[in-house]
Amino acid sequence: MKQRIDFTQGNMLRSIVLFSIPLITGELLQNLYNSVDALVVGNFVDQYALAAVTVCGVIANMVVNFFNGMSVGANIVVAKASGSGDRARMQLAVRAAFSFGVVLGVVLSVLGILTVPQLLRFAGTQEDYFDAAQVYLRIYLAGLMFTVIYNNAAGILRALGRADIPFRILLVSCGMNIALDLLLTGVLRMGIAGVGLATVISQGTSAVLIYRAINCCIQGNCFDLAEMLHRGKGVVAEVLGVGAAAGIQSALIGFSNIFVTRYMNWFSAETVAGIGVAQRLDRFVILPAKSFGITMTTCVGQNLGAGHYERIRKGERNCIAVALGGTLALSGIVYFFAPQCVALFNAEPEVVAVGVAMMHVLAPMFWIMALREVLLGVLRGCGHSVGPTILSLTGMVGVRQVFLAFTMRKSAAVEYIYYCYPVAWAATLLLLSAYYIIVRKRLLPDGER
């Protein structure tokens, strides 16, 4: 039995670091999983295939992000049923939530495959790589059901107290994806179809493994459509009610990224590929900040319940320090070694030039993301989610789209795409900071209870 980390006592900095390590490791694996396709096609195919994967990734992430948010609903509903001590109720909640995820996954895969050309046209995909993008996206969306099943089931297992199982399965599927990418595309020369098939096979494996894991945990079959449609309708309604807000927020940010992709497609395939590489490097740099933000939510929640307000303030200071330190260190590495980092994905001179130029704009500004994530973690830990969600959407979606609409129509320069990211980060941080200052006295009163 793993020791539970208690933020209400002991060394705060040590607790923050220990709690964050598995979060960072899991996020690293997830990011690696999502970046392998780009690495392989960029090195074994060409820049057009890399551009196609970039555009398809933005489209697919919009749907996947929605179900990452929806998995929060499954997590909370199953956790409540598990905490009640009623085993029959817990098993019903698990079966209904899991079966609902399977149905939605299948429906989305079918709809996605049928609408591939329309989705790619909407994203402004260029003719140079339109056919390649169709091949990759059709294969990827065929396996979307497996991604939805895995994400939904991972939320269920975390609610049952088995967060270790999704991590181990992710480790297996990530290794399988890398091996199959290299085999199908690097050795068998199947091109962009090879990386698509590798992703679907590894995702299918993760879905099968997590299905078996849940069956073991509840000692029964977790998939039962008849029960979901009759006795489990209340569970499905609760999953939707709880998870819809988080899912819609994630999907809206993903939808906003499609409009950014439309602007990207005003330029050459090499430019699209270079921006895509910079976006992938971006996810690795902000990874610690996101994990420390989640850590701060748990830290605040525990100490708020105990009335230890001074420890919350101490946690804020420590978390900001380690989040900034880690982010600045990674930012420095990416800034000074940007050519080498971008060339890992594709060595085409124009691709490298664009990727390096974008990273030189983003890297000095990543510290804003570190502060934003910690602040979001504090507010969520205090039970404030609606206000911060609205403000985050305003900054990350609204401000970014207004900035691009104004600047790109005035003068179509690719640099504006680089700058739209830090502009949105800064706007979001300012909005959240103002909100925090206004509500801070009510959230964290002076004195200990």
Q: What is the pLDDT of residue 273?
A: 93
* List of long-range contacts for 183-188, beta carbons under 8 Å, 24+ apart: 185/40, 185/41, 185/44, 185/45, 186/40, 186/44
Q: What is the pLDDT of residue 423?
A: 96
Q: What is the pLDDT of residue 448?
A: 47
Distance CA 410, CA 254 (A): 25
Distance CA 393, CA 256 (A): 10
Q: What is the pLDDT of residue 1?
A: 38
Distance CA 56, CA 112 (A): 12
**256-284 burial by CB neighbour count: b if 16+ within 10 A, else e?**
bbbbbbbbbbebbbbbbbbbbbbbbbbbb
Mean pLDDT, 10 residues at a time, the chain of 449 residues: 66 86 79 82 88 86 72 68 71 81 84 89 89 91 86 77 80 92 92 92 93 86 79 74 68 81 91 93 89 82 78 89 93 96 93 96 95 88 79 90 92 93 95 90 61
Please choose, from the candidates 2, 4, 1, the residue with its C-alpha nearest in 3D space to the C-alpha of residue 15.
Answer: 4
